[in-house]
């Protein structure tokens, strides 16, 4: 199923906003705060364990995400969720 132009525009607007707001590197909790609770830290952890999450660097008990890689993953995740 194709994603509508309205949905595509909304996703692009979300990604653009996050590209301005997210720090260069950040944790799952920071991602959750910036996403307004759309994705919980536990959901990101579960997706990571299934190799379906964004590419991250594990540092002790934290996972750090790089803004660009996270946004590429999030755009695809949102497109799949909207389909």
Q: Where are the domains of the chain?
A: 5-82
Q: Do 64 and 57 contact (CB within 8 A), yes or no?
A: yes
Q: What is the pTM of this model?
A: 0.90
Degrees to nearest 5, angle at CA 55 with 50 and 58: 90
What is the Cα–Cα distance from 21 to 70, expressed in whole angstroms?
Answer: 13
Tens digits of per-residue pLDDT, 22-77?
A: 999 999 999 999 999 899 999 999 999 999 999 999 999 899 999 999 999 999 99
């Amino acid at each position: 199923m194709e994603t509508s132009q309205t949905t595509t525009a909304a996703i692009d607007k979300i990604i653009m906003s996050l590209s301005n707001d997210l720090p260069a590197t950040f944790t799952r909790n920071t991602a959750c705060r910036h996403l307004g609770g759309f994705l919980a830290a536990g959901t990101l952890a579960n997706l990571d364990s299934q190799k379906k999450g964004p590419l991250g660097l594990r540092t002790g008990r934290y996972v750090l995400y790089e803004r660009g890689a996270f946004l590429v993953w999030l755009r695809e995740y949102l497109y799949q969720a909207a389909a």
